[in-house]
Amino acid sequence: MSEEKEVKVKKLSDKQLEKLAAKYSGPRYKTSFSDKMISVITYVVYIFFAFVCLYPFYYIFINTISNNDLSNQGKIIFLPQEIHFENYKRVFQIDGLFHAFEVSLARTIVGTALTVIIAAFLGYMFTRNTLWKRKLWYRFIVATMYFNAGIIPWYLTMLNLGMQNNFWAYIFPMIVNPFYIVLCKTFVEGVPKELQEAAEIDGAGTLRIFWYIITPVIKPILATIAIFAAVNQWNAFQDTLLLVTDTKLHTLQYVLYNYINAANSIKAISSTSSSASVADSLAHVATATSVRMTVTIFVVTPIILVYPFFQKYFTKGIMIGAVKG
């Protein structure tokens, strides 16, 4: 029978074979009008939400490169007018800007790395039954999510710990975050216990299991935490405002914060500018609105550039880490 079928197939012409291929490779059902309308509505809704998310950034950017007077009057809505880049030139002329950028970059990298490692390790340890009083310590950490002593006790504690004018004042208060620990703990609980048991049978200790077994498996939640921690570190400036007087430790956000305040007063701008021509230019051209928007673009851009590298882990990490099982 199989030989007869092969003979029949060989007798088919090329045109017949093409017709058969087109018949079975094409769509097996016709799209109805209602399905097409649903698809159109879906695309319209998604385009609308994409526009709502992207337009604020576009609006801020076109206002930074447009005529400052028109921007201050709220006349720049969709298209830039009288394009110029003086606002960005002024920002780059701020004294100590690049050193402050280095400080912010250093605190972001170091703080994010330590936050991720500690959150992952504590989250893993709270899943091990061998940890002494693990439920007590876990509840103690979670309780700090709901109770906050306030800024004055925090400030006094930091002074007693010798954190004034200290780079580690940017790192230590933020590396233990209860929310991140809860996410890691929930994620680790979803990892098959057989992996850990097999490693223990082979003689692996707690640290080896954590580093070689747990860490590679929980990369999605670690990437998610890294995004949260990096954004918090990059945007922080209140700790600089309260604890740091040494200009060598000023962060980018604090320098730009002072610049925004100075932009509201011509006297302040004149006294803080290193060049008289820069001061005159600010007095005649720059407005508080243009300064705020230019600083916003300057601060937000690094985070926007970093986010796409972690985005593929973000959705999976936050969903799996937030729902047990």
SS3 annotation, 132-151:
CCHHHHHHHHHHCCCCCCCH
pLDDT of residue 324: 44
| Other residues' Cβ atoms within 10 Å of the Cβ of residue 197 | 11
Spatial CA neighbour of 301 closest among 55, 60, 48: 60
Could you tell me which CATH number the domain at 89-322 has?
1.10.3720.10
Query: What pLDDT sits at residue 285?
Result: 57
Q: What span, in angstroms and rounded, lies between the C-alpha atoms of 195 and 90?
A: 57
Question: What pLDDT, on a 0 to 100 scale, did the predictor assign at position 206?
Answer: 82
* pLDDT in the model for residue 110: 93
Q: For residues 91 and 294, is the Cβ–Cβ distance under 8 A?
A: yes
CA distance 273 to 246: 19
Q: Where are the domains of the chain?
A: 2-64, 89-322
Contact partners, residue 209, CB within 8 Å, separation at least 6: 196, 199, 200
Closest by CA position to 227, among listed 116, 321, 320: 116
Predicted local confidence at residue 111, as pLDDT: 92
For the chain (325 residues), the mean pLDDT of every run of 10, in chain order, is 47 61 58 80 91 88 84 81 82 82 91 92 87 85 82 88 89 89 87 80 82 85 87 87 88 83 57 46 59 82 76 57 44
Which pLDDT does position 117 carry in this prediction? 93
The per-residue pLDDT for 98 is 85
